[in-house]
Chain A
Amino acid sequence: MNNTVTYNEQELVLSLKAKDQQSFSYLYDNYAGALYSIVLQVVPDKELASDVLQEVFVNIWRKIESYDPTKGRLFTWMLNVARNLAIDMVRSKAYQNSQKNQSMPGSEYFDKGGLSTQLTVDNIGLKKIVNKLKTEHRILIDLAYFKGYTHEEIAEIESLPLGTVKTRIRSALIQLRDHLK
């Protein structure tokens, strides 16, 4: 679909809230790829990620009323919708069971390409930047951002004081910002 119409952010939000089909089509055409990339970083399975992306856009369409432009840009809101739904998927029982069946002990050391729909996501998007960080930072961002654990949960998983977790995450985020510039 080629859209000749372009929107600035405010027009796009207003049109979406008015349930304008053309603006939603524009939104999909311009942002589906970026959001798919985000989802894949959380859910590496292409088919599952595709299902999540479908849910993401349905949610955007249905919940656009709840988006508040004073709290951030439209993309930030969509990014968080995508991340939250992707994490929900990863935490679902169905997903957990399918992963158990696939990952036999030690399978992560070989035959990574054997799982045809599994992407190597370490080299896309934010992960690419996160992988440049020191290990102690990388692990915490991975747990917080891509796996959705709270700071308290991470402190427990990593056996670190809560204060250290917070400090390291903040420090990692500042480095992340500098890499994004």
Chain B
Amino acid sequence: MNIQEYISSGIVESYVLGLASNEERIEFEQLSETHAELRQAREAFEISLEQHALDNALAPSAGLKQKIWSDINLGQVTAPAVNIRPDNKTQPFAPVRSISFAKFLAAASIILLLGSTLLNFYFYNQYKSSAAQLNELIASNQQMASNSNIMQTKLQQYERSFEMIKDTNMAVVAMKGQAVAPQGLTTVYWNKQTKDVYLLINSLPQPAAGKQYQLWAIVDGVPVDAGLLETNAPVAFVKMKNIPKAQAFAITLENTGGNKTPTMPIYVVGKT
């Protein structure tokens, strides 16, 4: 078969316009597979036909697109004026629309419910973690407050110590280490008015178990008990017994609980 003759026979136009018989159509499609020029001729006619149709287009009625969209359930494309118009033409569609609107509402409410549940869960978790954080903050605040109380107490102690040192009525008796404790050093602050005695341990050896340091006031050559030093006494001034009169102070190591008379040797001693 001469393909050019075939192309110019009018079969191309007949095929494209849908006027070819079944046999002609099958033959055309088979020949198209093997002859590029036949496909090109077909396409050229199709394009000119399409161009002509586009050039001769007539605008369809404005509401038609809306109707088509309703038919294929794509939803509304433009303002849903058709929903409110009690027009006979829209009647057949009305139930369909109301069902789909009810479905839409149902779907929307389920989505809202799910959303709300998720939000509730989210906010509940937020609340729980906030509450936990608040408890932590309260605890840490209490800790700070108690630390602050401790600091306040310490500060007050230091302030009192400082006031004592500053006090012009205070006599200072430095007590030097003796043979058993050459590095030993303690200081007695003795208020001449109130006769109160405060002891500051600058340095003393750690007492053995069951032993305790005891302060003595030497009054007219006789040692008078001036108080026991607690093993774990604070570093600051320790208030001892009130001593009206003394020529010297001395410390000995005694059995726990103290002694009525000192046991030798003397650890530290100082004259007033």
Selected contact of B13 from candidates A53, A58, A84, A176, CB within 8 Å: A176
Contact present for B71 and A145 (CB under 8 Å):
no
Distance between A110 CB and nearest chain B CB, rounded to angstroms? 26
Which residues of the partner chain B approach A50 to less than 8 Å between Cβ atoms? 60-61, 64
Besides the known contacts A50-B61, A61-B68, A173-B17, 4 further A-B residue pairs in the complex with CB atoms under 8 A apart: A33-B59, A37-B57, A75-B46, A170-B9
* Given A32-B65, A34-B53, A61-B72, also A72-B42 (CB < 8 A): yes
CB pairs A–B below 8 angstroms (5 shown): A28-B65, A36-B59, A50-B61, A58-B68, A151-B21
B37-75, CB under 8 A of A: which get 1 and which 0? Answer: 000001101111110111011111100110110011010
> Within the complex, which residue of B12, B32, B52, B71 is in contact with A54, where a contact is CB–CB below 8 Å?
B71
Contact A58 B71 (CB under 8 A): yes
Roughly how many angstroms separate A170 CA and B74 CA in the complex, as a whole number? 43
Which residues of the partner chain B approach A125 to less than 8 Å between Cβ atoms?
Answer: 52-53, 56
CA distance in complex: A53, B19 (Å): 21
On chain B, the residues within 8 Å of A35 by CB distance are 53
Measured CA separation A24–B71 after assembly (Å)? 13
Residues of B within 8 A of A (CB): 8-14, 16-19, 21, 29, 32, 42-43, 45-50, 52-54, 56-61, 64-65, 67-68, 71-72, 74, 77-78
Instruction: Answer yes or no: A174 CB below 8 A from chain B CBs.
Output: yes
Q: Count residues on chain A whose CB falls below 8 Å from chain B CBs.
A: 50
SS of B interface (majority):
helix
Q: How far is the CA of A177 from the CA of B12 in the complex (A)?
A: 10
Contact (Cβ within 8 A) B49 A36: no
Closest to B13 in A: A173
Cβ–Cβ contact B19 & A124, under 8 A: no
Contacts of B8 in A (CB 8 A): 174
List of A residues within 8 angstroms of B46 by Cβ? 72-73, 75-76
* One of A62, A73, A170 near B47 (C-beta < 8 A): A73
- Give complex CA distance A25, B77 in Å: 9
| A38 at the binding interface (Cβ < 8 Å) | yes
Q: Please, which residues of chain B bring their CB within 8 A of the CB of A99?
A: none
User: What residues of chain B lie closer than 8 Å to A145, measured between beta carbons?
Assistant: 17, 19
> Within the assembled complex, what's the spacing in Å between the Cα atoms of A70 and B42?
11
In the bound complex, residues from chain B placing their C-beta under 8 Å from that of A38 are 53
Please report the C-alpha to C-alpha distance between residue A81 and residue B16 in the assembled complex, in whole angstroms: 12
